[in-house]
């Protein structure tokens, strides 16, 4: 048995883990990064990057199919699933090699193997033990299922299976209308599949503002994507050519595949966390606002803790932990101020509070909903959607902006400006003074704030 000592040992090489490792090494710490598979984790290999590669292929398919509407004559001969997979894999491989190079350049020791927390200051990998005064847990998440629902990887699949599918299914039922379900629905519909989403809550993207969900639902209806909202799954059974899904009330749906997209659960079972004294809750590691666990020498980041399951949240948490351990001043992350994007067609992007969240917190608000039909670049791009801005209602007029919600083609590229508006406590009158370039979609943010400040330009309420 070998034993090695470091300043910090990180268990898990996904977004939160490797971000922590990179920052800690940059701050002069000796770092061990333990990963059972490949550094980059879910985001790089089974999540953000491969799904967005598929979504780009879907966008190209849509543009090819619809090019005659802008006077460009092309022929669309269908989807070569093998070639799409090859393109997706090439994107992942390029980024993986780049990440490996970056990690190596920081002199981080990467250990490939199954790690287990041995004590508050050590991690075991096989016969080897790696010790440090500070341990960071970053073991991520895996797709969830439902009680009694068996995933066979063939007819009933998870997002992991969907990413390596060697064909375009003729029809798919998607159980879950959150980000994962909506993105795969968008991909498969663009590839030519019949798609139906089953969601137990009353809207798609339940965590987004109701107005954004309604815009997305109308867009999906126009695209031929079906959805059953407020529908509860009862059972699934095999059929000659796929599956039959039964919903509460007896309604049945049939398709070639059932994608189970009901969220992701933390990877924590059997890893020694509770034995080392780390407090848990429903499988998640409990942390304070600075990502400290109940054990002073142990921190946790990413999908393992009950914060938004977003790669960029993991990045932020990993950096925060590395800087705190190094003795630098840090402040808690304002999770309301983290941008959220669903990369469907149309995209949905937001930052800050929804109208429902503001009401729950007793905040009286004023809002403007600016339709993309009044934006020149959006008309050129043939996209529909809206920009909703939510501000605190004050006696003298709108106060600080507490929510920005966008729907439309590529609006995810605009949300960084909205993030600054929210996080810098800007008021509509502050943003209204800024001149946005014309013609761009960024004008929708400017126009919405102009309207909320009481001086609309191309907007009529």
Tally of CB atoms within 10 A around 164: 13
Q: What is residue 386's three-state secondary structure?
A: strand
Q: Is the pLDDT of residue 342 over 60?
A: yes
Above pLDDT 90, what percent of the chain? Answer: 95
Which two structure tokens, joined as six digits, stand for 329?
């001043």
For residue 3, pLDDT over 80 is answered with no
Please give the sequence-ordered ranges of beta strands (E in DSSP) within 166-255, or none if there are none: 171-175, 194-199, 226-229, 233-239, 242-247, 252-255
Are 104 and 16 part of one and the same domain?
Answer: yes
- DSSP code at position 436: P
Instruction: Let me know if residue 330 belongs to a domain.
Output: no
pLDDT tens column, 58-70: 999 999 999 999 9
Q: Give the number of C-alpha atoms closer than 13 A to the C-alpha of residue 57, restricted to the C-beta side.
A: 27
Q: What's the CATH number where 104 sits? A: 3.50.50.60
Residue 336 lies in a domain: no
From residue 30, how far is each of 293, 373, 411, 417 by CA, in Å?
Answer: 22, 54, 40, 36
Task: Give residue 1's pLDDT.
Answer: 57
Shared domain check, 111 and 223: no
Question: Would you say residue 435 has pLDDT above 70?
Answer: yes
pLDDT at 7 exceeding the cut of 80: yes
- Residue 53: per-residue pLDDT: 98
Over the Cα atoms of the chain, what is R_g?
23
The set of residues, in sequence order, having a beta carbon less than 8 Å from that of 197 and lying 6+ positions away, is 173, 174, 176, 177, 181, 182, 185, 204, 225, 226, 227, 228
Token readout for 249 is 């009330």
Question: What integer pLDDT is reported at residue 148 of this predicted model?
Answer: 84
pLDDT confidence band for 2 (50 / 70 / 90): low
Q: Would you say residue 123 lies in a domain?
A: yes
246 in a structural domain: yes
DSSP string, 19-66: HHHHHHHHTT--EEEEESS-TTHHHHHHSHHHHHHHHHHHHHHHHHHH
Within a domain: 457: no
| 340 in a structural domain | no
Considering the domain architecture, whether residues 120 and 207 belong to the same structural domain is answered as no
Reported confidence tier of residue 75, pLDDT bands at 50, 70, 90: confident
- 381-394 average pLDDT score: 95
Q: Are residues 128 and 170 in the same domain?
A: no
Whether the CA torsion 450, 453, 454, 455 is positive or negative: it is negative
Give 118-149 pLDDT, tens digit per residue. Answer: 999 999 999 999 999 999 999 999 999 998 89
Do 258 and 270 lie in one domain? The reply is no
The last residue of a domain, from among 295, 325, 355: 325
From CA 149, how far away is CA 259, in angstroms rounded?
11
Q: Percentage of residues in the chain with pLDDT exceeding 70?
A: 99
Mean pLDDT of 329-340: 98
Instruction: Indicate if 316 and 385 belong to the same structural domain.
Output: no
Are 212 and 185 in contact, with CB atoms under 8 Å apart? Answer: no
138 and 278 together in one domain: yes
In this structure, the answer to whether residues 32 and 124 fall within a common structural domain is yes
Supply the pLDDT for residue 458: 84
The answer to whether residue 459 is domain-embedded is no
* Residues 33 and 113 placed together within one structural domain of the fold: yes
Cβ-count burial 81-96 (b if 16+ within 10 Å, e if not): eeebbebbeebbeeeb
User: Which of 226, 246, 262 represents a domain boundary (last residue)?
Assistant: 262
Of the candidates 298, 325, 300, 337, the one whose C-alpha atom is nearest the C-alpha of residue 419 is 337
pLDDT value for 4: 81
Query: DSSP labels for 337-356?
Result: GS-EEE-SSSEEEEEE--HH
CA–CA separation, 143 and 237 (whole Å): 21
Q: Which of 274, 291, 6 is nearest to 125 (CA)?
A: 6
pLDDT grade for 374, boundaries at 50, 70 and 90: confident
Q: Say if residue 113's pLDDT is above 90.
A: yes
In the chain, how many domains are there? 3
In this structure, what CATH number is given to the domain that contains residue 382?
A: 3.30.390.30
Say what the pLDDT of residue 425 is. 96
438 is catalytic: yes
Point out the domain boundary residue: 262, 288, 314: 262
304, burial (CB in 10 Å: exposed 0-12, middle 13-18, buried 19+): buried
Closest CA to 179 of 60, 82, 311, 281: 311
In a domain, 192, yes or no: yes
Q: Which domain holds residue 448?
A: 346-452
Residues 162 and 194 in one domain: yes
The pLDDT of residue 57 is above 90:
yes
Q: Please state, in angstroms and rounded to a whole number, the distance separating the CA atoms of residues 354 and 209.
A: 5
Note whether 36 and 184 are same-domain residues: no
pLDDT of residue 181 exceeding 60, the answer is: yes
77-85 mean pLDDT = 95
Query: Looking at the structure, do residues 33 and 115 belong to the same domain, yes or no?
Result: yes
**Strand 252-255 relative to strand 242-247, pairing:** antiparallel
Question: pLDDT value at position 459?
Answer: 75
Mean pLDDT of 144-167: 94
- Point out the catalytic residue in the list 438, 449, 458, 460: 438
pLDDT at position 461 is: 61
- 345-362 tens-digit pLDDT: 999 999 999 999 999 999
Tell me: pLDDT of 422 over 70: yes
Whether the bond between 346 and the residue before it is cis, its omega within 30 degrees of 0, is yes
């Amino acid at each position: 048995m070998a034993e090695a000592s470091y300043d910090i040992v990180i268990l898990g090489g996904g977004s939160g883990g490797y971000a922590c490792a990179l920052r800690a090494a940059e701050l002069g710490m000796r770092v061990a990064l333990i990963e059972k598979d490949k550094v980059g984790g879910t985001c790089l290999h089974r999540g953000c990057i491969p799904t967005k590669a598929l979504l780009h292929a879907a966008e190209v398919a849509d543009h090819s199919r619809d090019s005659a509407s802008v006077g460009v004559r092309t022929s669309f001969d269908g989807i070569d699933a093998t070639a799409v997979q090859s393109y997706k894999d090439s994107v992942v491989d390029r980024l993986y090699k780049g990440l490996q190079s970056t990690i190596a350049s920081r002199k981080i020791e990467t250990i490939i193997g199954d790690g287990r927390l041995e004590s508050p200051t050590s991690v075991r990998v096989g016969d080897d033990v790696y010790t440090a005064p500070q341990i960071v847990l970053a073991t991520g998440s895996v797709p969830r299922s439902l009680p009694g629902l068996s995933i066979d990887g063939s007819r009933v699949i998870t997002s992991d299976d969907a990413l390596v599918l060697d064909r375009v299914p003729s029809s798919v039922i998607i159980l879950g209308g959150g980000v994962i379900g909506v993105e795969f629905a968008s991909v498969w519909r663009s590839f030519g599949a019949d798609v139906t989403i089953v969601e137990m809550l009353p809207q798609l993207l339940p965590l987004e503002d109701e107005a954004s969900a309604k815009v997305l639902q109308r867009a999906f209806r126009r695209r031929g994507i079906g959805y059953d909202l407020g529908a509860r799954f009862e059972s699934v059974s095999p059929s000659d050519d796929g599956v039959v899904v039964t919903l509460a009330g007896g309604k049945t749906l049939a398709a070639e595949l059932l994608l189970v997209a009901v969220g992701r659960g933390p990877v924590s079972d059997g890893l020694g966390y509770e034995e080392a004294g780390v407090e848990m809750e429903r499988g998640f590691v409990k942390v304070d606002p600075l990502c400290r666990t109940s054990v002073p020498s142990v921190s946790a980041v990413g999908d393992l803790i009950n914060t938004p399951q977003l790669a960029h949240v993991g990045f932020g948490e990993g950096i925060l932990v590395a800087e705190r351990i190094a003795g630098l001043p840090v402040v808690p992350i304002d999770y309301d101020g983290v941008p959220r994007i669903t990369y469907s067609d149309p995209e949905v992007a937001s930052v800050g509070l929804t109208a429902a969240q503001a009401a729950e917190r007793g905040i009286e608000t004023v809002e403007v909903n600016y339709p993309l039909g009044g934006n020149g670049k959006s008309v050129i791009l043939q996209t529909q959607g809206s920009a909703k801005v939510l501000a605190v209602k004050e006696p003298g007029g709108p106060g600080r902006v507490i929510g920005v919600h966008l729907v439309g083609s590529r609006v995810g590229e605009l949300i960084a400006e909205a993030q600054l508006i929210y996080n810098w406590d800007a008021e509509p009158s502050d943003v209204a003074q800024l001149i946005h370039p014309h013609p761009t979609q960024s004008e929708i943010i400017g126009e919405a704030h102009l309207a909320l400040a009481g001086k609309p330009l191309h907007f009529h309420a």
